[in-house]
Structure 1
């Protein structure tokens, strides 16, 4: 390893020296490739199929009324991106979604989340067409996008449902592929971190040719990628220890209470006991489990992908075309070992692994008769008699001396290894069609497609609760009461390592979950120039009209282990069988009406309108149906060629997806830092005590209830067959300026506003807690908001066996509302700087910034639509807010070109963010009730988020890239990412949701890998 690091550092020094060719001016200049990319790509595609994102009308002379951010092929090359999610995650205005930086919560796919409205509220397109989704939620897996063949990526903000159908509430991401590719291009790249891990290897080969005198073209692209894991800890000391956000900094014993050696939740208000380190006795719970070293910042990933497309002009003005894609992806998530997470178990007093000291304590404290309230303990004589008693006498009769202990077991089975979920996804999507000209001005396009996605999750090294319970009922060290399945008695009373390989093999097994989705589509469009024009306009009225049919089907099927609640220790809930589908019949139309042009005060004035009518037929009992209508109006006005005003107003719709309609209610996990019933608070409030008991907490544990383990509480949730579509109003207004007095400069500024009504949502954990515990009264103990919360029958907490602990209750409904608004600013400039060092010099600059004014959520807007009822998450983080969404962020690229060499610096910046105000206020109230000392000050006593975790300062990252055109056919690109090795902020691991708050930081929002090096070589003919 030392040799590897030394060679890496030497390579880094050489890389940086090459990258600085051209002098320090490259670092001081402002630059960008966005505008340059767009200009070059527009020119390159002038004679090819025109794809205008946001419109069905394909006329290059008509300018867009909606803001579209474009990421060109050059920018993708400079970033050396291996996955589309990596790029989209860093766009100003986007919020990190599930991707390679998400480990615990990654379902084997990568998604995009525009404007923080959720990854299920946007559409991902390929050349303007839908592709098969990867899950029951209807989301497209970005791992399947063939980046090697992508010419540009358009990101359209705001609703686009009238153009593309349901789901496009927050916008559209449209990947445009290279058309009429001819030649061969082979690229090989390698990336690695400065610490010698996280290696990423990628190779792509693209071949294309024109044939039959240019009447046809065919292209094939093949790709392979292999990405290695990066573990928490090691050379990244900020993530070595599990830090509880709700505790003092670096306090011993932080982590999970499901630990090793075993912890026993005795019940009856007794202090939890833990097997002593030497395995001979029991002690008051003393050591939590540090799960960080088992988790990863970068998930292992392997991909084989193939993409082909072809077209052929079969007759004058008639062309047939087809494209097909296949992708085989494998993603692995690696988390801490499985175990028994607070489930109730029964152990004979005569268990052969129990020491005399352990038996004596349990006889005096543990419950031996759960059917009677309170802990029913044993006398010394009863304990002695039971210590050797078998369940049955020699004649088969029940032994009257036989006794059993019942308690909650928390045992981390380190001996079985980490929990691994292997997700293998195979995606096939094929489209074919015919297009041509009806007249010189009117075109048609008819196409059909079929796509399938199959994702198999293989769950490894998980402990089976039923096997544990069977193995604890042991008659000797070699035999169980029930000998089925080749039972091997289990030792939970020894030190860490006391579970042998034979025991481990018996209590653990693999499980599988299969998820299949299908999408069939047929679409027909007629578009063109009507031949009618305004007397004041140079362009005619353009139109598009057509019809579309889509059929979605999705299934989830699990084996008996995966679908049994609580069976897989630490699986986060059962995976029930799901089967559903729906059909959509649509008709749509769009008009672009140039009103005037080349007149005094009106260089260009254009109005747009569009409408789409949809009919949904759900594949369910009774075949329920519903109809939706979406529409848009928009316009542009350019008083002079240098300046343009644009705006649009849209009514968008999102229909419920298969998961929301057909998922049964089940118990899983959510995030919750504190519990109002924890600690001493219920002892000082009769109303609070009554509520805690009404929720299922035993009366004798009041005053001893603990906070949710590792910040995770149970939640019972699921789909709702009665939810209907959600609607949104979206509008934007902006300015575009391309001043003639400054050639090469362009800029735009746009305001956007999106409001979603009847949102299909589940309340946040904070909302569910507040609905019950805010404004408590004597009647609260019988209110549904309180009694729907179900507690652990042993500990009274909100975590434990999902078979007995329902936790919070949050089923989907149409009661929610979402709102967001903000401003996008985009600037670009490119100019020649003459001859430098004998080479023609060029300088380019781009700035892409976003200011998010608001990002609000109201779980019950139907009942209370007031502003005070909305939860604000912009610039704030907590378990209620998911990924971090800063108020202001930008990316700025500066590129200096000298002949065959480009030196480019990318600067990414996000502003300071803080812990959520509403959650902090709620925590403070609960901490005060619980009798914590100085909860708002510097000594939070575990009742509040540590003051040092309540803010994250503004952050900057710099990426330096040098590209060499070694020859006409060969170029080399070398990069240093996170140039100054900026460390991520430390906020503990329980301040936010598990998916995005891991390793004591937010690894999707802040670079946790540190300085990385990349090199790629491209050969083209």
Structure 2
């Protein structure tokens, strides 16, 4: 098999793990040890060396099929994100920001820096970003999931900086395996149904085997409005129920005046009073419908040749459901004769002061001009007048915005293998895969048609009647938008992204028949070729900046390709066996030379080894120099303006009025003169950002090393403990700066209207805000460069023990992680630059939560036909990222309590000793500044009712723990949603799951 090794088991036990088919979760290398002792073949992740007596110097966490069954996991992502030390990525709990796929993020270094394999073979990526959608992996087909961290570039090539996840399927299967699974929350929603059928058998007198599997999954949505902590959108900064300034009734600003932000109230414009609560429309669990097919076969043509093949096809449909669209602060030319504009509103618009510094009142129009314009319905009438109004009106009448993602993926692999000599084997294969993700959106509306409808001067007919135009009432209350308006505005839009991956590989592996010690030297030598192509194509609406209302960034057509030619080698040298102070001593070496069509020649190498001074104790370690070439998106993606999150703006409010330098900076960023004093922060906490690829990017360079030990004491039977320290430094990292860093580069470092870091920020030319139409407001530049630096280190600890209590068997398993640091520096060459460490912190600058400590512990009682298992999952407490904390956190919290220790109302709280990570971003409510340690418990029972029938029932989140509320805009939307962090802390509540399995 590609990138893996089939090892023939030996009678000698492998020193890592326990030989238990029901081994607890995440046991290090436990499955390899179990299979070696039972005489089966094994697939070792991280090496091609074929020698069963050699042990891997790199730690591998293993999640077995038994553990997946106990977890009642329906997708791999549900299980992987709970492994201590891994950081939740985009998954089923991510709604706004989910592109129809789920990913894995090892060590928090980014989804693009770990590699996903199926039986050791690269899977075709989802699209431009080169990431693999792990939703396509069939859980019921898995024998185990191997998670190797700490770098694996020498074995697998680029993208394996933080490691690999290898999904190993059941092989040489005989019989029929049918499983049906149902899961539902205590609230009666979120129903998930999964069915899988696996059929396999031997043929040709055992010289061949074929396996075929089919599967189906259907998962329902869970809406934020159906949980008490998600009903209202809560501002992290005010502590009050809030929401968006795109609301109902319309929110209106008159650009070029000092009107400020107003909202329609009857026939008047009054100060903004009712933000829109978008929470109830969004979801805590995205819906999914998936069909999957898998097949694999092998056949021994002769003693010298075995041919093999593998294929997979998956079609998934997942949906994101987002609050209704609207005109998100678009400036629309509006006739003063608009039939829905009342006299009171018209007179206010005509009479607004256009220069707050001028004495008296300077009107837009005189009263006579205003009155005449009110009846001038023909653009050719000399009295006809229009005014540009900045509208924020939510199209609640249209229903939510829906984006259906249909993913189709297939991959086929075929090859041959056999013995080259008595001790060396050869293998050659080719694989080809395609992935296509088609998105279809509805509920948005288009800017061009909206402008056409707003120009109407007759309530029943547009001035321009093309396309069946229907006039729109943006001044009315909820219900004023008719179905006819919806049908005119919402024409739908679509886009497709896809990828192709062709790969060929050939290698020889085995031992040389001689060595320094009693064990022979083992080698692997080979070559590999990969060709990538990816594209993104959209309809004209999606390609036009700002045209699709409520759609964030435009989606211009993009495509790119590159190829890589590689040679690689591994060498494992047993230096000693069975000697004094060296029961085992082994040296591991590996190297890879890669020739990329984009970045040229890159070198990756590793050195490692294991040493067992006594049979029950082993020391292991390794060092790797790894590179990662930029992917197609990083190189070729067309720059676009979209949305991100930020809770403050130094130019907002009255701050620049009396500060001449700040005023000059705001003006240099494109704010109009009359906006000074009226610039506002988006109540939804969003800000425009411009991102895109950079064809001049070079490869990243990482240094990773691990050092650990394995302990299997003779005096404690069936006990194994492993402890491993990991250290990963990534230089020349392909990164974009955090939003906080962009602000700091201007407003904290040399704040000046001449500072390029200041003038690179571009404001709304009508309002001075950092939000608004993406067609006119580039916002903050987030440019990709090779200037970043990433660093993380920590310790993994696992312990497994099994014993017989007499009345039952007892299995205990523990897997824990301590993350010491997880640092990011936007510019590695800037000695004054902030080296941000996000361990134990959350904020807009720290994407997904990475606790300092986390662990999973499982206790299983095994009876003859019944198992009872309790899993305990712990997540350490975290707090809001501070810039400065003059006193300790407890003291800062105490200042917000009265003499009796009662928490003061939010309005009475302050931040005298606590300033948030956002510049000036005070979070006055101390309840939002921290999330206490969380404990989750899952209880599972397995009943083996007959030899060929078993029944599993589980209660997930046994004590119905609720996620901690921290508000909706304290972090990135993709991870801080519905007032909580739903990928880290369970937002669904107690769930019940049952699985029936029939085998014969």
SS of the aligned residue for 2:666 comes to helix
Which residue does the alignment assign to 1:979? 958
Over residues 118-170 of structure 1, what are the superposed CA-to-partner deviations in whole Å (9 max), with x where a residue is unaligned?
Answer: 11100011111101011211111111112111111110111111110000011
Over residues 581-631 of structure 1, what are the superposed CA-to-partner deviations in whole Å (9 max), with x where a residue is unaligned?
Answer: 10000000000000001001100000000000000114xxxxxx5110000
Which residue does the alignment assign to 1:857? 824
**Whole-angstrom distance in 2 between the partners of 1:939 and 1:661:** 37
Q: Is 1:209–2:201 an aligned residue pair?
A: yes
Output aligned runs, 1:784-803, within 5 Å: 784-803=756-775
Residue 497 of structure 2 contacts residue 535 of structure 2 at CA under 8 Å; is this kept in 1?
A: yes
Q: CA deviation at 1:698?
A: 1.5
Residue 92 of structure 1 contacts residue 891 of structure 1 at CA under 8 Å; is this kept in 2?
A: yes
Q: Is 1:913–2:878 an aligned residue pair?
A: yes
Q: Is 1:996–2:987 an aligned residue pair?
A: no
Q: CA deviation at 1:418?
A: 0.2
Q: Which moved more, 1:742-751 or 1:263-272?
A: 263-272
Over residues 319-369 of structure 1, what are the superposed CA-to-partner deviations in whole Å (9 max), with x where a residue is unaligned?
Answer: 00000000000010001000111111110000011111111111112889x
**Whole-angstrom distance in 2 between the partners of 1:682 and 1:935:** 21
SS of the aligned residue for 1:509 comes to coil
**Whole-angstrom distance in 2 between the partners of 1:43 and 1:384:** 88
Q: CA deviation at 1:41?
A: 7.3
Q: Is 1:561–2:526 an aligned residue pair?
A: no
SS of the aligned residue for 1:192 comes to strand
Q: CA deviation at 1:570?
A: 1.5
Which residue does the alignment assign to 2:552? 572
**Whole-angstrom distance in 1 between the partners of 2:430 and 2:218:** 33
* 1:401–1:159 CA distance, 2 compared to 1 (3 A): same
Output aligned runs, 1:343-358, within 5 Å: 343-358=330-345
**Whole-angstrom distance in 1 between the partners of 2:884 and 2:323:** 28
Instruction: Select 2:984's aligned residue among 1005, 1008, 1011.
Output: 1005
SS of the aligned residue for 2:491 comes to strand
Q: Is 1:271–2:260 an aligned residue pair?
A: yes
**Whole-angstrom distance in 1 between the partners of 2:764 and 2:987:** 36
Q: Is 1:755–2:729 an aligned residue pair?
A: yes
Which residue does the alignment assign to 1:629? 603
SS of the aligned residue for 1:476 comes to coil
* 1:888–1:63 CA distance, 2 compared to 1 (3 A): same
**Whole-angstrom distance in 2 between the partners of 1:577 and 1:819:** 34
Q: Is 1:365–2:335 an aligned residue pair?
A: no
Residue 809 of structure 2 contacts residue 862 of structure 2 at CA under 8 Å; is this kept in 1?
A: yes
Over residues 817-859 of structure 1, what are the superposed CA-to-partner deviations in whole Å (9 max), with x where a residue is unaligned?
Answer: 100000000000011111x2xxxx1000011000000000000
Over residues 430-474 of structure 1, what are the superposed CA-to-partner deviations in whole Å (9 max), with x where a residue is unaligned?
Answer: 000000001110000100000000100001111211111111011
Paired residues, number:
951
Q: CA deviation at 1:58?
A: 2.8
Output aligned runs, 1:747-896, within 5 Å: 747-777=721-751, 780-834=752-806, 836=807, 841-864=808-831, 869-896=834-861
Question: Unaligned regions of 5+ residues in structure 2, if any?
Answer: 1-21, 356-360, 890-906
**Whole-angstrom distance in 2 between the partners of 1:649 and 1:261:** 62
Which residue does the alignment assign to 1:453? 435
Over residues 42-98 of structure 1, what are the superposed CA-to-partner deviations in whole Å (9 max), with x where a residue is unaligned?
Answer: 427966554211112132210110111111111001001000011000000000000
Instruction: Select 1:120's aligned residue among 112, 119, 130.
Output: 112
* 1:39–1:161 CA distance, 2 compared to 1 (3 A): closer
Which residue does the alignment assign to 2:947? 968
Which residue does the alignment assign to 1:261? 249
* 1:46–1:222 CA distance, 2 compared to 1 (3 A): same
Residue 871 of structure 2 contacts residue 939 of structure 2 at CA under 8 Å; is this kept in 1?
A: yes
Which residue does the alignment assign to 1:147? 139
* 1:40–1:775 CA distance, 2 compared to 1 (3 A): closer
SS of the aligned residue for 1:630 comes to strand
Instruction: Select 1:510's aligned residue among 492, 495, 509.
Output: 492
SS of the aligned residue for 1:785 comes to helix
Instruction: Select 1:86's aligned residue among 78, 83, 86.
Output: 78
Which residue does the alignment assign to 2:327? 340
Output aligned runs, 1:481-520, within 5 Å: 481-520=463-502
**Whole-angstrom distance in 2 between the partners of 1:47 and 1:327:** 33
Q: CA deviation at 1:938?
A: 10
SS of the aligned residue for 2:564 comes to strand
**Whole-angstrom distance in 2 between the partners of 1:812 and 1:806:** 16
Which residue does the alignment assign to 2:402? 420
Output aligned runs, 1:587-598, within 5 Å: 587-598=567-578
Q: Is 1:137–2:126 an aligned residue pair?
A: no
Which residue does the alignment assign to 1:24? none
Instruction: Select 2:420's aligned residue among 431, 434, 438.
Output: 438
Instruction: Select 2:62's aligned residue among 31, 55, 70.
Output: 70
Residue 669 of structure 1 contacts residue 712 of structure 1 at CA under 8 Å; is this kept in 2?
A: yes
SS of the aligned residue for 1:683 comes to coil
Q: CA deviation at 1:282?
A: 2.4
SS of the aligned residue for 2:94 comes to coil
Which residue does the alignment assign to 1:951? 930
Which residue does the alignment assign to 1:652? 626
Over residues 221-279 of structure 1, what are the superposed CA-to-partner deviations in whole Å (9 max), with x where a residue is unaligned?
Answer: 11000000000122x211100001011x3x35x10001011110123221222111xx4
Residue 637 of structure 1 contacts residue 646 of structure 1 at CA under 8 Å; is this kept in 2?
A: yes
Residue 27 of structure 2 contacts residue 815 of structure 2 at CA under 8 Å; is this kept in 1?
A: no
SS of the aligned residue for 1:749 comes to strand
Which residue does the alignment assign to 2:180? 188
Question: Unaligned regions of 5+ residues in structure 1, if any?
Answer: 1-29, 369-373, 393-397, 619-624, 925-930
**Whole-angstrom distance in 2 between the partners of 1:351 and 1:814:** 53
**Whole-angstrom distance in 2 between the partners of 1:987 and 1:670:** 18
Which residue does the alignment assign to 1:936? 912
**Whole-angstrom distance in 2 between the partners of 1:129 and 1:646:** 26
SS of the aligned residue for 1:782 comes to coil
**Whole-angstrom distance in 2 between the partners of 1:428 and 1:31:** 33
Which residue does the alignment assign to 1:325? 312
**Whole-angstrom distance in 2 between the partners of 1:35 and 1:933:** 48
Root-mean-square deviation (Å):
2.1
**Whole-angstrom distance in 1 between the partners of 2:308 and 2:478:** 63
Instruction: Select 1:175's aligned residue among 161, 167, 170.
Output: 167
Which residue does the alignment assign to 1:18? none
Q: CA deviation at 1:34?
A: 4.5
Q: CA deviation at 1:775?
A: 3.7
Q: Following superposition, which runs of at least 4 residues in structure 1 exceed 4 angstroms of deviation?
A: 33-37, 44-49, 937-943
Which residue does the alignment assign to 2:213? 221
**Whole-angstrom distance in 2 between the partners of 1:919 and 1:216:** 67
* 1:991–1:560 CA distance, 2 compared to 1 (3 A): same
**Whole-angstrom distance in 2 between the partners of 1:912 and 1:884:** 10
Residue 415 of structure 2 contacts residue 430 of structure 2 at CA under 8 Å; is this kept in 1?
A: yes
Q: CA deviation at 1:773?
A: 0.4
**Whole-angstrom distance in 1 between the partners of 2:885 and 2:80:** 31
